[in-house]
Amino acid sequence: MPKRIENVGCPYCGVCCDDLVVTVSDDGKKILEVENACAIGNQIYHHATESERVRLPRLRQPDGTYKEISYDEAIDYAARVLYNAKKPLIYGFGSTNCEGMAAAAKVGEKAGAILDNCASICHGSSLLAIFDNGYPSCTLGEVKNRADVILYWGANPAHAHPRHMSRYSIFPRGFFTGKGHKSRKIIVIDPRYTDTARVADIYLQVKQGYDYDLFNAFRTVARGHEIPEEVAGIKREKILEVVEIMKNARFGTIFYGMGLCHTDGRNHNIDIAISLTRDLNDFTKWTIMAMRGHYNITGPNQVWSWQYGFPYCLDLSKRDIAHMNPGETSSIDLAMRGEIDAFFNVATDAGAHFPIEAVKELRKHPWITIDPNICMASEISDLHIPVGIVGVEVPGIVYRMDNVPVQYRKVIDPPEGVISDEELFERIYQRLCELEAEDAAKERVKTTAEGIPAED
Amino acid sequence: MSELLIKNGFVFDPLQGIRGDRMDIAVKDGRIVETSALQHPETIDASGMTVMAGGIDIHSHVVGPKVNVGRLFRPEDKLFKSPLKRCNRMEMGFSVPSTFKAGYDYARMGYVFVNEAAMPPLHSPHVHEEIRDTPIIDNAAMPVFGNNWFTLEYLKNHEIENNAAYTAWLLRATRGFAIKVVNPGGTEAWGWGLNCENVHDPVPYFEITPAEIIAGLIETNEHLGLPHSVHLHCNNLGNPGNYTDTLDSLKLAEGYTPKNNFGREQVLHATHLQFHSYGGDSWGNFESRAPDVIDYVNSHDNITIDIGQVTLDETTTMTADGPFEHHLRALNNLKWANTDVELETAAGVVPYIYSPKVKVCTIQWAVGLELALLSKDLMRTFVSTDHPNAGPFIRYPRVITWLMSRAARDATMKTFKWLERTIDATSIDGIDRELDLYEIAQMTRAGPAKALGISNTYGGLAPGMDADIAIYALNPENMPENPEEIEKALSRCACLLKDGVVTVRDGEVLTEPPKRTVWVDVKVPENAQVQRDIYEHFLRYYSVNLGNYSLFEEHLFNPRVIEVDTTQ
Amino acid sequence: MANKITLNMITQRSIEEGVAMEKGKTTPEYFEACSIIELHDEDIKALGLVPNQLVRVTSECGSVVVKVVKGRQTLYPGLAFIPQGVWANQIVPPRTQATGEPQYSGFPVTVEPVASGERRKSALELVQGAVGMWRGEQ
């Protein structure tokens, strides 16, 4: 009898749909059917059992080919690379569970590494703005139950978060929003007329790169001042109309995406979006939310904040204290300055998603990929260590884009012998401790920096 | 089998009425035993030192989502000096410490049990993840109920049994400890940007008043017979003139008597009362009304309080009182984070600087101390800073020093810019009382343990209890002249035993014995209506599935369960 | 008709890229989803192109050959789009305005028809080629 597993959480995007129903074959080895998932989520589950999976770590040989090695050998290799590097970078974590992130942090702290996550190239701008201006937000159920005005700005959920609009924002009927879509006004602001814009009541085609100006115009109007006839390609009347709708909302939410983070201005675009939200709270209730990309890219921000007080770009190389300064301790900047002498690509694909110039810099040194799949990073690595797929083969806690923790399940076992990120990092940690002890026995303890005592 | 004998210390254990007698405390296999039960103990010489049970914090925000917002959005909080790495993990942060630092700091002060003050139920997996990463100390966490839609609906119709069944379900779902109430009704109103300003201000749509919520939850709590009482953060926190609202809230407990098997004697714990004891009608004529409030508490023994002492630090305020944080943002114009949580609660976070140069801040400082110093029953009056709202918990030793020493208070008051006005607006200058170590043990161990309903395990030194024992280098027969020496001795205990393991020595953490998660499991009769309501609400209004809401067993770290059976 | 025009480039996610990525970055689906550029009609016309022709796109830090398509999600004249992924990242400037985030959107590129014989490279060829590891089709 095939087994039907309910309440399965989807390991794709920050929407973290937890209503998937997955049917698994009698022997528990094959995924037969996936209900409720979007096209992308579907693909993840089917890919897990239909494709040829890597089952053992693979070590690059002098002739450029890979040779399979044991996990013990791979763990020893990885630990030695960390142990001998001056400034190793452990980066990624968009697609694993929080347990894995916590274990990786233990390794990073022991090794004196830089610890960074995909937010560094995604919503890092949001984090910078939050440091400066705060974050008046809510959970997605609040939006569903209360919101009567929804604004998507520089975000295209129709492509990047396929079920966002149906689960939380535009279409669902909530407690105070019993009429669903009919009870809501939808505004979309984007330089492209996206598939998301197609469902909008009002679409503003902002000139690319001029978001800050447009936000500024919104704030100016909301505060009762004059604005020019046209701002950022948008006519004044249109701006007045939208601000009026926003001020008269009962409960509004601004969802914004990479359109603000990836372009000129970066964090300043987010900063002013937050300021607009603050301003609107003098009239009515408004909230703002970053459309976080991967299903658990919010996770490392949470885990490392409670462990170190910083959500990303952590420099643990000072041994006594953690240090964070994006621009200085961020992956891309470190890579481009040639400061990194070993790279761990974990639960992401920097090979595909970093600008190629950064990839070239990083590849001058040892590169280790920890990921279930064959990807660009794995194909340029010295060592590829496969792990189980979280949400399919490994359970764990993940954080949704609204920082709500969601408990994920496993629906099948990983391929025989394949371990989880958490176990892998725990074993690397143990190996690091052994290396340290071996060196100590030889009285060749690596000298670590003497910190400066704090009080007294 | 490990045996330890703590010899010759001055022992303070209010639960047994021991007032600084010189005696030995025996420990075997993690428990306190009769000295006669030991055969070949290792000894710890405590002569000339003070021996107490490990400290109990009844109200502190140390783990969970809003605490982590405070950490995340305040990188500048890490610019305060962090110590050298001496323990297993780095220690970062000042007003909102990392989980590791929180565990180590509490241990260094001789504390062993910390009750997380507010857990948004939807976020309980997050709370438990942070508990896992908080070393040494045992943790409990209180889910918030005062703005929960189920609670509002049941209590509107006065369905106490249904509310009790739901409460039992939610305690189990979140592995929670007690009923926390924050700005009842006001936080739900904040969903629309509104508030409930007093206990009779009805909640929009739900048509119930804060007074009805508070009374209904007290009834629910006593119906279930939980270890702890309702734990209330009153309406209208932080505003001039709010003491009348506070008295209105406290009066709701009149007529209720505690029903439980845990030795608890109160039906209401009013938390961080300092924030709720203000007179005046503006910041201009802001004044203390602490005497009025504590008078009421003194004459009503079914109430306990913690003080919420302002420590005059730069800190981070965080509370489920969403409208208050929005209000504070408008006052100091600093950054503001807010999270409204569907069907349940909200939370706001704003940095705040309590400056000795600001009149309101120094009056607040006096109010907290007045509450403690005018209290007639320190078994019902507890030390807290509402960490980190009025100041970080690492200032407890300083707070205690203020309570123990008029000279220490005077020295601090000398730094006030508006000293005269502070004296005029409060009664602090007329109070000479200096508390002794027995009274401090009441306020930091015995009292909170009893109020939490855990005094059979924590907070005392009787045989059979956990061997959680703090030793301080303070000689009660020869207390230091300089109050700073008291603070120092309390900050870094000479020795802490946790479950019989020597965990801290001379203020340094030596080892990390396994910590626990303490929660309350209540058995109630089957209730089909409540089950159906839960099913319906999740189907229609929640954004996570019911099947994923309750904490999975694998995410509960080293549990210690307190069982309550109402079906007997 | 110009043989080279300058446009403002943005690179963001598309659902086709998302689906294909989960199938695998070495699959034909990923190749077809990501090795494309979307342009406004006017710009296509200005280059004298018809859809499905190949163009070379060059930024301050790199160059890549992609196929012209007329996107369903319309742009305004002067704005160009390549889906996030291997091809886009051949030309994304790594400058971060001291934030850590590369300039994934809003950078100038030139677009020109390819010289004859030029082809789109596969993802592996691009990435392994960039770091000196490409050993030809296996």
Q: Which domains does chain C have, with CATH numbers?
A: 5-130 (2.40.40.20)
At A143 the three-state DSSP class reads helix
Range A124-290 classified under CATH 3.60.20.30: no
Tell me if A312 sits within 8 A of A304, measured CB to CB.
Answer: yes
Rounded Cα distance between B550 and A405, Å, is 11
Compute chain B's Rg from CA coordinates.
22
Mutation site for B-interface testing, chosen from A306, A400, A448 by largest number of B Cβ within 10 Å: A306
Query: CATH 3.40.228.10 occupies which residues in chain A?
Result: 124-290
Which one of A38, A263, A359 would you mutate to disrupt binding with C, by most C Cβ within 10 Å of its Cβ?
A263
The Cα B462–Cα B469 span in angstroms is 11
State how far residue B232 is from chain A, nearest Cα, in angstroms. 24
- To the nearest whole Å, the CA of C71 is away from the closest chain A CA by 10
Partner-chain contact C89 A355, CB within 8 Å: yes
3-state secondary structure of B332: helix
Give the number of other Cβ atoms within 10 Å of residue B536's Cβ: 11
Nearest CA in chain C to A377: C127
A40 Cα to chain C: minimum distance (Å): 5
Query: For chain A, what's the residue count?
Result: 456
Q: Is A404 on the interface with B (CB under 8 A)?
A: yes
Q: Do chain B and A touch: 3 or more Cβ pairs under 8 angstroms?
A: yes
Tell me how far apart the alpha carbons of residues B88 and C43 are, in angstroms, rounded to a whole number: 61
- Interface contact A139-B337, CB threshold 8 A: no
Does C58 touch chain A if contact means CB atoms closer than 8 Å?
no
Contact (CB, 8 A) for A18 and A9? yes
Contacts of A295 (CB under 8 A, 6+ apart): A9, A10, A11, A12, A13, A14, A15, A16, A94, A95, A391, A398, A400
- Where chain A has pLDDT below 50, the residues are 448-456
Is-contact B432 B363, C-beta < 8 A?
no
Cβ distance of B100 and A307 shorter than 8 Å: yes
Give the best residue of A349, A357, A375, A389 to mutate against chain C (max C CB count within 10 A).
A357
C104 lies within 8 A of chain A by CB: yes
Per residue in B63-116, pLDDT tens?
Answer: 999 999 999 999 999 987 667 888 999 999 999 999 999 999 999 999 999 999
State whether residue C72 sits within 8 Å of chain A by CB.
Answer: yes
Cis peptide before B388 (omega within 30 of 0): yes
Burial class of residue B537, CB neighbours in 10 A (0-12, 13-18, 19+):
middle
Interface of A with C in 289-328 (CB under 8 A): 293, 312-313, 326-327
Put simply, whether C63 touches A (Cβ < 8 Å) is no
- ipTM, 2 decimals? 0.97
Q: Judge: B75–A303 Cβ closer than 8 Å, yes or no.
A: no
Chain A (163-192) residues lying within 8 Å, Cβ to Cβ, of chain C:
191-192
Distance CA B427, CA B408 (A): 16
Cα distances (Å, whole numbers) of residue B363 to A244, B29, B275: 43, 48, 11
- Number of Cβ within 10 Å of residue A203's Cβ equals 18
Distance CA B10, CA B5 (A): 14
C58/chain A closest Cα distance in angstroms: 13
Name the DSSP class of B273.
G
CB B146 within 8 A of CB B182: yes
- Contact state of A331 with C19 under an 8 Å Cβ cutoff: no
Helix B149-156 vs helix B528-540: crossing angle, to nearest 10:
130
A/C interface, count of CB pairs below 8 Å: 186
The per-residue b/e assignment along A155-173, b for 16 or more CB within 10 angstroms, e otherwise, is: bbbbbbbbbbbbbbbbbbb
CATH 3.40.50.740 range(s) for chain A read 55-121+296-392+418-441
Residue found by looking up tokens 């090695």 in the block: A69
Q: What angle do CA A334, A339, A341 make, to 5 degrees?
A: 115
A139 and B340: CB-CB below 8 Å?
A: yes
Distance, CA of A385 to CA of A294 (rounded, Å): 21
Interface of A with B in 324-353 (CB under 8 A): 324
CB-defined contacts A:B, below 8 A: 200
Say how far apart CA B459 and CA B446 lie, in whole Å.
Answer: 5
User: CB within 8 A of B107, min separation 6: which ones?
Assistant: B135, B136, B137, B496, B498, B503, B504, B509
Per-residue pLDDT at B1? 55
Neighbours of chain B (3+ CB pairs under 8 A): A
Residue of chain C whose alpha carbon sits nearest to that of A258:
C12
Instruction: Spell out the CATH class of B55-452.
Output: alpha beta
For residue B459, which amino acid is it? G
Mean pLDDT of all residues in C37-49: 94
Which residues 6+ apart lie within 8 Å of A329 measured at CB? Answer: A114, A116, A313, A314, A315, A323
**Fold observed for domain A55-121+296-392+418-441:** Rossmann fold (3.40.50)
pLDDT score of A449: 45
Closest partner residue to C130 among A12, A43, A359, by Cβ? A359
Q: How many CB atoms lie within 10 A of CB B74?
A: 27
**pLDDT (0 to 100) of residue B466:** 98
The ranges of chain B annotated as CATH 3.20.20.140 are: 55-452
Instruction: List where CATH 2.30.40.10 sits in chain B.
Output: 3-52+458-509
Residue ranges, chain B, pLDDT below 70: 1, 81-82
Q: How far does C15 lie from chain A, in Å, by closest CA? A: 4
Q: B337, A136 in Cβ contact below 8 A?
A: yes
Residues of A in contact with B100 (CB under 8 A): 307
The CATH classification number of B3-52+458-509 equals 2.30.40.10
Chains with 3 or more CB pairs under 8 A to chain C: A
State residue B23's pLDDT score.
97
Q: How far is CA C115 from CA B64, B499, C53, in A?
A: 59, 78, 11
**Cα angle at B528 between B522 and B534, to 5 degrees?**
75
Query: What is the model's pLDDT at position A445?
Result: 55
| Residues 288-307 in A contacting B (C-alpha not used; CB under 8 Å) | 301-303, 305-307
Residue C49 has pLDDT above 50, yes or no: yes
Q: Please choose, from the candidates A389, A315, A383, the residue with its C-alpha nearest in 3D space to the C-alpha of residue A345.
A: A383
- In tens, the pLDDT along A110-160 reads 999 999 999 999 999 999 999 999 999 999 999 999 999 999 999 999 999
CB contact under 8 A, A109 and B90: yes
- C-alpha distance from C53 to closest chain A C-alpha (Å): 22
Q: Is A195 on the interface with C (CB under 8 A)?
A: yes
For residue B531, the SS3 value is helix
Element (H, E) at B166: helix B160-174
CB contact under 8 A, A175 and B541: yes
- Interface membership of C108 toward A (CB under 8 Å): no
